[in-house]
Amino acid sequence: MSKSVFLDDLEIGQSWHGGPIEMTEADIIRFASEYDPQPMHIDTATAASGRFGGIIASGWHVAAVVMRDFVEKAPFGDTPLLGLKIDDLQWRLAVRPGDLLSITREVIDIARSKSKPDRGVLTMQMTVANQDGAVVMSFVNLMQMPTRPR
């Protein structure tokens, strides 16, 4: 039986680590070919002579693999993670083939609903770094989370 973590169980400042996630050239091209088919993401020859000197991952691809890691790591057990809002999502540095990403997820706010006592909003700061420790992406994630049934 898998555990469930409820809003009541969490504390501000609590954090979890995710990754490592390897960004392969094949995965970068495959994602971008379907969802962000710009030359800088899918065309190695054009990208090589472009601004970044090679292909870089679509920012949405980085966001997607960070989500997958969250589901796999399951810090909250089988509690459904219903995303409500993302704020201040910044792509700070290019993600390139071979990069190995790690993630820090920290609770920065917990708000119980006044009108609906069975739920509340969990706010987390997500920070994604590469193998050099440089931050490549960061965002604030507001999720709806159930409170512990009484």
Number of residues that bind a copy of itself (CB under 8 A): 31
Provide the 8-state DSSP code for 26: H
- The answer to whether residue 81 forms part of the interface with a copy of itself (CB under 8 A) is yes
User: In this structure, are residues 145 and 122 in contact, taking their beta carbons and an 8 Å threshold?
Assistant: yes
User: In this structure, are residues 56 and 39 in contact, taking their beta carbons and an 8 Å threshold?
Assistant: no
Q: Residue 37: helix, strand or coil by DSSP? A: coil
Using CA atoms, how far apart are residues 147 and 113, in angstroms rounded to an integer? 9
Quick note: the x/- pattern for a copy of itself over 91-120, rule CB under 8 A, is: x-----------------------------
Using CA atoms, how far apart are residues 99 and 94, in angstroms rounded to an integer? 10
Which of 63, 93, 107, 110: binder of a copy of itself (CB under 8 A)?
Answer: 63
- The answer to whether residue 58 forms part of the interface with a copy of itself (CB under 8 A) is yes
Burial label, 108 (beta-carbon count in 10 A; 0-12, 13-18, 19+): middle
Nearest to a copy of itself of 19, 59 (CB atom) = 59
- The answer to whether residue 77 forms part of the interface with a copy of itself (CB under 8 A) is no
Which of 71, 114, 132, 149: binder of a copy of itself (CB under 8 A)?
Answer: 71
Q: Which stretch binds a copy of itself (CB under 8 A): 10-18, 84-92, 110-118, 126-134?
A: 84-92
| Residues within window 17-46 making contact with a copy of itself, judged by CB under 8 A | 34-40
Sheet holding 119-129, edge to edge: 15-22, 100-112, 119-129, 135-146
Point out which residues bind a copy of itself (CB under 8 A): 34-40, 50-51, 58-60, 63-65, 67-68, 71-72, 80-81, 83-91, 139
